[in-house]
Amino acid sequence: MYNFEYHKAKTIADASAMITQKSEAKLVAGGMTLIPTLKLRLAKPSDLVDLNGLPELKGIKREGSAVVIGAMTRHVEVAESAEVQKAIPALAHLASHIGDPAVRNRGTLGGSISNNDPVADYPAAVVALNATVITNKRKIAADAFFKGMFETALEPGEIVTAVSFPMPEKAAYMKFPNPASRYAIVGVFVAKHKDGVRVAVTGAGPCVFRQKDMEAALAKNFSADAIKSIAQKQDGLNGDIHASPEYRAHLVGVMARRAVAAAG
Amino acid sequence: MTARLIGDPVRRKEDRRFLTGKGHYTDDINRAGQVYAVFVRSPHAHAEIKSINTKRAAGAPGIVAVYTGADLVKAGIGTLPCGWGVKNKDGSPMAEPPHPVLASGKVRHVGDPVAVVIAESKAAAEEAAERVDVTYKELPSVTAVDAAVKPGAPQLYDAVKGNLCYDWHIGDKAAADAAFAKAAHVTKLDIVNNRLVPNAMEPRAYIGDYDRATGEHTLFTTCQNPHAIRLLMGAFVLHVPEHKLRVVAPDVGGGFGSKIYHYAEEAAVTWAAAQLGRPVKWTAERSESFLSDAHGRDHVTHAELALDLSGKFLGLRVSTLANLGGYLSTFAAAVPTYLYATLLAGTYTTPAIYAEVKGVFTNTVPVDAYRGAGRPEASYLLERLVDKAANEIQIDPAELRRKNFIPKDAYPYQTPVALAYDSGDYFATLDMALKAADYAGFAKRRDDAKRHGKLRGIGLATYIEACGVAPSAVAGALGARAGLYEVAAVRVNPTGSVTVLTGTHSHGQGHETTFAQVVAERLGIPIDQVDVVHGDTAKTPFGMGTYGSRSLPVGGSALVKALDKVEAKGKKIAAHLLEAAEADIEFKDGKFTVAGTDKSKSFGEVALAAYIPHNYPLETLEPGLDETAYYDPKNFTFPSGAHVAEVEIDRDTGVVELLKFTAADDFGRIVNPMIVEGQVHGGLAQGIGQALFEECRYDPESGQLVTGSFMDYRMPRAGDLPSFAVATHATLCTHNPLGVKGCGEAGAIGAPGAVMNAVLNALSTVGVSDLQMPATPERVWRAINDSKAAA
């Protein structure tokens, strides 16, 4: 690990100012990606600005027909929240399958989506549930938030403070985990809303994406059979020693059908 | 009444220490004035070192020293020795290129150490290590064993033609060829034994220390055999005599073979400590372990089995390419030869066997013994071959095995590949395993699974292994450069408690309990009156350490011999105290009794008399009760068994789920069934890991290690494993005093074949007849797809 200056943010404004002023500053949320990267000397930030200790970033609350989850809420808190389990059980289920217990006890919603790892689970939920990402500066629609591999719409100094998840009629998340890391090789989140169906795929491509052919078919007939003949194209999908693009494309279909079946 | 301790599931004495976090591992040790070493490692698979500039590192904050290979050469430091020499087919010795402590001239694998940086803190050493400027000229590399023997392959050593360390063979080629000429059926198989990374929980760690006043060097090390390290490092590398070199292996958190070998970092820190007059500590990062611990397996094999019309095996021909990595590790040469091809008879009466093995250098981490070492490779090959033959000639796989088993009354049984089995009953363990696994009821379970859209399969494997390593003269004739006996000292303390000093080493096996059980039962004293000391050359006599399931068969036998001596001397003392003839003294239940009388002395009274010899036959007998014995085994031991796996496969994803695993093993007499069961469980997890999950992969172009962390190297997890059904059936070893055979490696030997045969059994219903380990989801999915396409 290289040396860096450590700051514990006292307010969100304070954190925002610090990461704007310092040349190579990084925010620390759960640290589940950042800390291993530092330990392997793969990153050399000048300053770390710690968001732990800001209570306004924490917590889960119901607001009308949405569940609003603070950015610093741990995965385990989402997984075990009675509110989330009741309102959007698929989201609690997703959180309960992120990484392992150690990761779930440290990792946060805001950290996960701000990092936008192509194989992270949460982006699929944010997109499929048509969530709104709330930052210290504005509100960003899910479809506009995830820009590409490790890239988001966040601007310098912008910090995710919460995510508002509208309650779907039904939803489910099916993940085919990387056998070693437990990240998603393919994760498909299917959500049926009043105004349509959204199918978000994580792990398969460089960034979470919507499978619109499936969405259209499911809007007409929300059943696994309805998407049986829809093949995910393998062009542009990820490939590694665990799964080729061809296999990932195949798994998108399998996981989508299973998600639809699980959503009921 | 004598407490029956042998055979009891006595709770592990060492667990209080381990479970309360009081274990004392190398990294827990800190010496006054300690400095920290970090190794600069090659980022390239194969490159010339054009220059190493240490100037910037030497100016780094907190820096103490920087050494390169040139410094070690200048200091007269030797190269890391190989402990076993193998001969080529023509009788010439194997190629044995030098293995420098720090690379000189060339690097031969990613992770090859080129310099060591020593600083006041680990962080400072890491900083300084980045300032060592090494200029490399990259060379083409080769990591796959079959690619390395091809004409035009990149060559690792100028002096080693075709990357060939040796071209070795065993058995009777003419007899095997004749068997094939008259065969009714020949089954052929091309098979890969996947490369594995051992991944002991505790990474390697070393501390070198030096006392300028006495000239004594000390090395604290995570090793399985401190005396062997002292001998190898002292005699061949650092040129320090034994009496000035102490090697301590304190608590060690797993080894699985990977901590047998003498590693470069051990020599470097021991030497540097003497240069600096300060203790030097190095602890591997996990990513460093992947790049520098010896790996295991990595064979590519073609095999053929000849059968007659009735299904009797007539002959076996095997041709194997074994990857040795970039350098010869300590026992590397022996693993794919004498620990592999000598096991190719397996449990069968195959009368003619011929095997040839090419040991091949590649641009990978050195490969050496890993749990099972050669025997899992042999067993997996045979059991896949036998299952394939059974499918081809349409005989039930269990029946084909029974037809070819060595009969119960055939012992001692001389195989065509050097070994003479002393005992076994393969029919009994197979029957036990099949019954416990409900083999007979499988068809119904398969049909039920089919209704749920799953492919269900059952597979079995039998195995034999050669353990209790090893008769020294036999091993010596085969190329071993060490003796392989074991030693134990039984130090009876004045008040009758006992300290055992053993040359073996426990790094998870529970010797502190099992050895104490042997002593407590024999001497009739409570088990808490016995302590077992191991892992320090300053305390224990010169023994060979722990590997090859040898500790109880060889070390335990030495212990029994030492106990014999204690009892014999005790009888002499008792005879004097009881004023009786020595021949009339009986020792039982911790008492020396004059036969036929109630006159007796307790073991404690006799011990006290030995150390306070006021009333003692000093004219004829030395005081004290402290006996040492060495035991050189007459033969290997031959644990055997039958394993049955049952799996279900998700056709849509290719995911294999292991539902049931049954093991019936013959380990001879069992001292502690709980510890044996634990050993079997651990071995099975690793064997199942090899079959379904683990695969060390190098990028064929760049030679980079692709599976360099747990993010990509897939270890088995508890959740992957069913509850194991394990049972034992004992036929006693005929040539050691406890009748024990060893149990540490069996699980890793039997499991891969059983699991893969189960996977292939499930896939046979969709037309798949071959698959290589590990049976990963994509590999299984592709096999199903390819067979669909072919149909």
Mean pLDDT for each consecutive 10-residue tract of chain B (791 residues)?
78 95 97 98 98 97 98 97 96 98 97 98 97 98 98 97 98 98 98 98 98 97 97 97 97 96 98 98 97 98 98 98 98 97 98 98 98 97 98 97 97 96 98 98 97 97 95 92 95 97 95 97 96 97 94 97 98 98 97 97 98 97 98 97 98 97 98 97 98 98 97 96 97 97 96 98 96 98 90 73
B 650-679 → A contacts, CB under 8 A: 652-653
The Cα B535–Cα B538 span in angstroms is 9
Q: Which residue has 């009777």 as its token pair?
A: B172
**Backbone φ and ψ of B580, nearest 5°:** -130, 170
Q: Which residues of B touch A41 (CB under 8 A)?
A: 126, 130
Report chain A's C-alpha Rg in angstroms.
Answer: 18
The Cα B192–Cα B299 span in angstroms is 6
The Cα B613–Cα B600 span in angstroms is 18
The Cα B563–Cα B669 span in angstroms is 18
Q: Which residue has 């040796």 as its token pair?
A: B166
C-alpha distances in angstroms, A7 versus A16, A53, A135? Answer: 12, 11, 20
Alpha-carbon gap: A44 to the closest alpha carbon of chain B (Å): 12
> 10 Å Cβ neighbour count for B96?
17
The Cα B22–Cα B15 span in angstroms is 10
Q: Which residues of A touch B694 (CB under 8 A)?
A: none
- pLDDT for the residue B459: 98
Q: Same domain for A13 and A114?
A: no
C-alpha distances in angstroms, A126 versus A202, B252, B698? Answer: 11, 46, 37
CATH number at residue A17: 3.30.43.10
Q: Same domain for A135 and A34?
A: no
Tallying the residues shown for chain B, one arrives at: 791
A180 in contact with B, Cβ within 8 Å: yes
Q: Same domain for A172 and A243?
A: yes
Partner residue opposite A180 with nearest CB, options B653, B713, B778: B713
Q: Which residue has 């033969």 as its token pair?
A: B635
Starting at the earlier edge strand, list the strands of the sheet with A184-193: A170-177, A184-193, A196-202, A209-210
8 Å CB contact of A247 and B710: no
Q: Same domain for A22 and A132?
A: no
How many beta-carbon contacts under 8 Å exist across A and B? 40
B618 in contact with A, Cβ within 8 Å: no
B697 in contact with A, Cβ within 8 Å: yes
The Cα B502–Cα B514 span in angstroms is 12
User: Which DSSP state fits B448?
Assistant: H
Q: Same domain for A127 and A215?
A: yes
The Cα B417–Cα B425 span in angstroms is 20
The Cα B162–Cα B155 span in angstroms is 7
Element spanning B105, H or E: none
Q: Which residue has 């404004």 as its token pair?
A: A13
Find, in chain B, the residue whose alpha carbon is nearest to that of A244: B778
Contact B202, B253 (CB under 8 A): yes
8 Å CB contact of B653 and A251: yes
- A44: tokens are 């050399």
Q: Same domain for A163 and A73?
A: yes
The Cα B600–Cα B616 span in angstroms is 16
Q: Same domain for A134 and A225?
A: yes
B402 in contact with A, Cβ within 8 Å: no
User: Comparing C-alpha atoms, which of B725, B723, B766, B548 is closest to residue B641?
Assistant: B725
CATH number at residue A169: 3.30.465.10
- pLDDT for the residue B3: 55
Q: Which residues of B touch A240 (CB under 8 A)?
A: 712
The Cα A38–Cα A3 span in angstroms is 10
8 Å CB contact of B653 and A176: yes
Q: Containing domain of residue A46, as a range?
A: 5-50
Q: Which residues pair with B116 in a beta bridge?
A: B39, B67
Q: Angle B777-790/A245-263 helices, nearest 10 degrees?
A: 100
- A134: tokens are 């709330």
**Any residues with CB less than 8 A from the CB of A213 and at least 6 apart, and which?**
A227, A230
**Backbone φ and ψ of B668, nearest 5°:** 75, -155
Contact B680, B726 (CB under 8 A): yes
Chain center to CA of A157: 20
Alpha-carbon gap: B710 to the closest alpha carbon of chain A (Å): 6
Contact B643, B461 (CB under 8 A): yes
Q: Same domain for A62 and A132?
A: yes
* Helix, strand and coil percent figures for chain A, each rounded to 5: 35, 25, 40
C-alpha distances in angstroms, B486 versus A227, B354, B505, B545? Answer: 67, 33, 11, 8
What single string gives the DSSP state of each residue in B712-776? TS----GGG-PPEEEEE-----SSSTT-B---SSHHHHHHHHHHHHHHHHHHHTTT----PSS--
Partner residue opposite A179 with nearest CB, options B123, B714, B781: B714
C-alpha distances in angstroms, A143 versus A71, A129, A155, B49? Answer: 18, 10, 16, 51
How many angstroms separate the first and last alpha carbons of chain A?
48
Alpha-carbon gap: B197 to the closest alpha carbon of chain A (Å): 14
Partner residue opposite B778 with nearest CB, options A1, A181, A243: A243
C-alpha distances in angstroms, A100 versus A96, A105, A107, A263, B716? Answer: 9, 9, 10, 24, 14
For B165-205, what is each residue's pLDDT tens digit? Answer: 999 999 999 999 999 999 999 999 999 999 999 999 999 99
Starting at the earlier edge strand, list the strands of the sheet with B498-502: B530-533, B498-502, B486-492, B626-631
* Domains annotated on chain B, with CATH: 31-139+205-283 (3.90.1170.50), 299-469+635-790 (3.30.365.10), 485-631 (3.30.365.10)
- pLDDT for the residue B1: 40
Q: Which residues of A touch B287 (CB under 8 A)?
A: 40
- A186: tokens are 């393919």
Peptide bond preceding A177: is omega within 30 degrees of 0, i.e. cis? Answer: no
- B688: tokens are 């199942």
Alpha-carbon gap: B712 to the closest alpha carbon of chain A (Å): 5
- A60: tokens are 């889960």
Q: Same domain for A63 and A144?
A: yes
Q: Is B330 helix (H, G, I), strand (E, B) or coil?
A: coil
- B769: tokens are 């007849």
Q: Same domain for A23 and A141?
A: no
- pLDDT for the residue B788: 82
A120 in contact with B, Cβ within 8 Å: no
Tallying the residues shown for chain A, one arrives at: 264
Q: Which residues pair with B740 in a beta bridge?
A: B668
Q: Same domain for A63 and A44?
A: no
The Cα A233–Cα A52 span in angstroms is 41
The Cα A143–Cα B151 span in angstroms is 55
Element spanning B401, H or E: helix B397-404
- pLDDT for the residue B791: 73
Q: How many domains does chain A have?
A: 2
Q: Same domain for A27 and A124?
A: no
B254 in contact with A, Cβ within 8 Å: no
ipTM, two decimals, is 0.96
Interface test with B, best of A247, A252, A257, A260 (most B CBs within 10 A): A247
Contact B324, B366 (CB under 8 A): yes
- A189: tokens are 């989140």
Interface test with B, best of A227, A250, A255 (most B CBs within 10 A): A250
Interface test with B, best of A251, A255, A260 (most B CBs within 10 A): A251
